[in-house]
A = this chain, B = another copy of it.
Amino acid sequence: MDKILDEAEMKNVCLAVLGDPLFATTHLTLILECRKRNISYKVIHNTSIISILMNSFGLHPYKFGKIATIVRKSGTPATTVYFTLYENLVKKLHTIFLLEYDIESKEGVKPNDAFNILKEAEEVYKLGAFSSETFVIVACRVHREDEKIYMGRVKELLEIDFGQPPYSLIIPSELHFMEREALSVLFGLEKRNEINNSKMIKKKVEYLVYKYVGNTRKALEDARKRLPRKEFDSLFENVECYLDDAIRFLNLGEENLAMLCVGYAEGLLDALRFQGILELKW
């Protein structure tokens, strides 16, 4: 870098790069150094992989969420990568994954590696963000003469030879019918299958609400048998109402209120325990 800067102090230097010139931190550092050394510069922006991926498949540019790069497997599960996908799918946003490729060592992440990395993270976190049923677009050598695009469910893509890098993935969320139409016309995607990767997403809160509602219903049934006295009728009725409300709020997407209701119902019932009226097993 110093050589470039030294030369740039004497004469015009031009640096041609692939993609947007400032996407890589190295090039940003270069212009920061120019500023510090008072070297004037001009950046001519170019299209970038992000821009092309957002715009080439008929997916709505406004429906893309946070992007991430998948790097070669380390010892730990790919937490950031997995949760980037998870959070985007929860919000019904499409995810762009760039697959690492080191041009010097010629090593990097292949599409199948990326599938394995995501699959392993799914096995750890179990939130339904990725499976062999997930619909994926694999973009190979984008905007080059030998560009090649593959798409399908992960299980249909496992045997494909994707050719040379670089690769990127798009894992779309629920598709608008216009997006579906574009994929059909542009890439011959069959229309018969529904595509909605957000559908399998398990929200942690759903799991919790159903678990607690189930436990409380059982405890309520037990309590009603053992305390068939009229003075507790109103209490038991309220427990039941609030459990129903919890499910209702959950279905309305009001997760906080769902948790509040199920907690309240549990509390109503458990008060009998703290008063020494009933020994409840949860």
Contacts and interface: CB of A to CB of B under 8 A. Distances in A.
A66 B52 CA distance: 16
Interface stretch (A20-28, A155-163, A190-198): A20-28
B235 A274 contact: yes
A34 to B, nearest CB: 9
Contacts of A28: 58, 182
A66 B45 contact: no
B262 A23 contact: no
A259 interface: yes
A118 interface: no
Candidate in A55, A231, A242, A274 with the most chain B CB atoms within 10 angstroms: A55
A45 B55 contact: yes
Contacts of A182: 28, 32
A61 B267 contact: no
B263 A274 contact: no
Interface string A65-76: 111110000000
Contact of A32 (B21, B50, B51, B186): B186
Contacts of A45: 47, 51-52, 55-56, 143
Contacts of A55: 20-23, 45, 48
A32 to B, nearest CB: 5
A28 B35 CA distance: 40
Contacts of A260: 208, 212, 259-260, 262-263
Interface band, chain A: 35 or more
Nearest to A233: B274
A61 B263 contact: no
Contacts of A61: 23, 50, 67
Contacts of A43: 56
Given A28-B182, A47-B46, A259-B256, A235 B54 contact: no
Nearest to A261: B263
A209 B56 CA distance: 45
Nearest to A265: B267
A91 interface: yes
5 contacts: A22-B55, A51-B51, A64-B67, A204-B256, A259-B263
